[in-house]
Amino acid sequence: MCHSRKTKCDALTTYPCTRCRDSRLQCTLRVSHRGRPRRGKRAGSRGEAPPGLATPSSEAPEQPPRAASAAAAAASSPVDLIRSLEYFIEHPHGPVDDERSVAIVHATDNNALASVLRAAAGADPHGRNVHLYVGPSSSCSAVDRYNEALARFDPDTRSFLAAKGIFDRPGAALAAHLVQNFFDYADPHLPLIHKTDFLERFRAKSVPLLLLQSVFFVGSLFADDGHVSAAGWPSRAHMTASFFDKAKLIADFEIESDQITLVQSFVLLAERWLGWTDERNTRYWMSRAVNVAYMMGLHRKIETLQLSPSQQRLWARIAWVTMAEYVPSRSPETIKYCVTLVWLGALVGQTLTKLHSSSRTVAEPVTPAVLDELRQRMETLAPDCPGLIDVELQDISTTPKAQLLYGPLLRAGYALVSLFYYWALAERHRDPAVKLESREMLHAAANDVCDVMSYLRAHALFPLCPIWLVAGVFHTCAVLLGDCRDALLGSEEPRKTGSFGRLRQLNDDLGILEETWKPAGWFRELIRISLSKLHEKHDDTQSAVVLCESPGSLFESARELFPDLANIFNWNSADTFPSG
């Protein structure tokens, strides 16, 4: 409700609100004091400045120091929240026991929240959204966290946990053997842990108990019979069950509070498989890992003052592994698929970062060394991605339907990496010869995606396809649409091209994928309208053209038709490329 105009206001969902925008008025947010208890003179008198607002030293009343938690400060007014955020950015290493040092987390897909906060602070409405992680402080050691958690339990509960052996470590020889097994056999497929840091903490006996028992559990799956018998276990199965039960108790009693440790441990505990009838099966642990990862914003780009570059890389790797492991299986084909998909996803992100600018006003120069590095990474991954012939030769009579999907998806992923790589070179490189060669490679990558989609359509595999394939099909359509535009408008005489047929086929495929993924319908309508506009007769001024000169700017040209899609893919090719 707008208190000044006595009308309904939708500023919490759309900012500026609809009525102010229609009336061309300044949308002002009212600071509400509703629900805030009156404070006594000791806590703050009537003329005292609000919390977080500095007062002159001569007028500031003397108050005893007080510690306010993040939850208590977050319950105050929006202005207090903004002051807290500004204080945190200006003093990233300041004390955390001051209510002004409370940080704000922007962890929602609703852009209205960021607009409301900026408006309340009087900040630039076009500023970047920052995700500030306010989880448990990393300065608190694992021992302190566990002591604090155990202090909340009654003596009987502590005795029960001690009797179950959750604090016990195996002998030095067996512990070293299990840790070595983990990094030799499990870490290459589940790169969740920083090896050097873990080994240093392992020698210092400061590894969190939940993560340590989880590593012991996974390492015991590969334990030698000699170590098993020497440790007094009847079999390897009894050893793995023991370590798993200890980790499960720590998780069930919520002794561990560090969110990164929880995600790492839950993914490792998902390696325990007893059958679909087991209540704590792989799906259960992966669901817990995904829930914690989502709540802490691990799937987002981290722009925080609290993480070092090494920590950011570790967080990104944990997020990719969690995503790849969310559909579990123990087959070698699935392991190869998950590992390769993680590397392909990382290469896509690196290609977009190095060759395309995202939310940057000035593009960084792209040197030949950067292009060579990306090309070498593509060549390294090429053998792990089956070719189109290998995909066609799969035995559909003996191979499970779900595994028929692995080869085509890897091929499509590699084709999309090539598409993003050659797309930038074909549009922005200064060497005409490189641009011409890159354009040919770009069309070859688009044709590979079309062939993969034909295979998936022929074997009715679309319901099993992930959503990233939908985004890949859309970018492929953009490349084909650019070729169609060049064929019709690039010269006085239109030239023949097969892109029209491929574009229509991919558009039909998006219609099938829409049954599983709704965004496919948005992309399909966008491509359909753009293609129909392309066929219309143009006058001398070409006022009906809806496409920009570069196919990389497809969203810019269609923003008026579909304004909601402008936030899905917001990147443009970098402007500066080497001359050779």
Q: What is the DSSP string of 493-534?
A: S----THHHHHHHHHHHHHHHTTT-THHHHHHHHHHHHHHHH
pLDDT of residue 331: 62
Alpha helices in 184-308 (DSSP H): 195-203, 209-220, 225-230, 236-252, 259-269, 282-295
76-113 per-residue burial string, b: 16 or more CB within 10 A, e: under 16 = bbbbbbbbbbebbeeeeeeeeebbbbbbbbbbeeeeeb
H-helix segments, 11-133: 18-23, 70-74, 78-90, 111-121
pLDDT value for 496: 75
* pLDDT reported for residue 360: 43
pTM of the model: 0.44
Tokens, residue 80: 């207090």
Give the CB-side neighbour count of residue 40, counting CA atoms within 13 A. Answer: 2
Decide: 513 and 465 in contact? Cβ < 8 Å: yes
- 461, 408 Cβ separation under 8 angstroms: yes
CA distances from 163 to 148, 208, 216, 249 (A): 19, 19, 19, 12
What is the reported pLDDT for 560? 42
Three-state SS annotation for 308-348? CHHHHHHHHHHHHHHHHCCCCCCCHHHHHHHHHHHHHHHHH
At 49, phi and psi to the nearest 5?
-70, 150
CA distance 213 to 208: 9
Question: Where along the chain do its domains lie?
Answer: 142-318, 335-573
Contact 282, 272 (CB under 8 A): yes
Cα-atom radius of gyration of the chain, to the nearest Å?
Answer: 29
Can you give the pLDDT at residue 141?
Answer: 77
- State residue 123's pLDDT score: 59
The owner of tokens 């001024």 is 541
Taking CA atoms, 373 is separated from 378, 381, 442, 579, in Å, by 9, 13, 19, 17
Label residue 370 exposed, middle or buried (CB < 10 Å: 0-12, 13-18, 19+).
middle
| Distance from C-alpha of 209 to C-alpha of 561, rounded to nearest angstrom | 55
Q: How many residues are present in the chain?
A: 580
- Each residue's pLDDT tens digit in the chain (580 positions)? 565 566 667 665 565 677 777 776 666 655 444 544 554 444 343 334 333 333 333 333 444 333 333 333 333 334 344 444 444 455 555 544 444 433 344 444 444 555 555 565 565 655 544 444 444 444 567 788 888 888 889 999 989 998 998 888 899 999 999 999 999 988 888 889 999 999 999 999 999 999 999 999 999 999 998 999 998 899 999 999 999 999 999 999 999 988 899 999 999 998 887 665 566 778 889 889 988 888 877 766 545 545 677 877 888 888 888 877 665 445 667 778 888 888 898 898 888 888 876 444 445 567 888 888 999 999 999 998 888 888 888 877 777 776 788 889 999 999 999 999 998 888 778 888 888 999 999 999 999 999 999 999 998 888 888 888 998 998 898 888 888 877 777 666 666 778 888 888 898 899 899 888 888 888 888 777 777 776 664 443 344 333 333 433 444 444 444 444 444 433 343 444 454 4
The residues, ordered by sequence, that sit 6+ positions from 23 with a Cβ below 8 Å of its Cβ are none
* pLDDT in the model for residue 361: 44
Q: What is the DSSP string of 378-416?
A: HHHHGGGS--HHHHHT--TTTS-TTGGGHHHHHHHHHHH
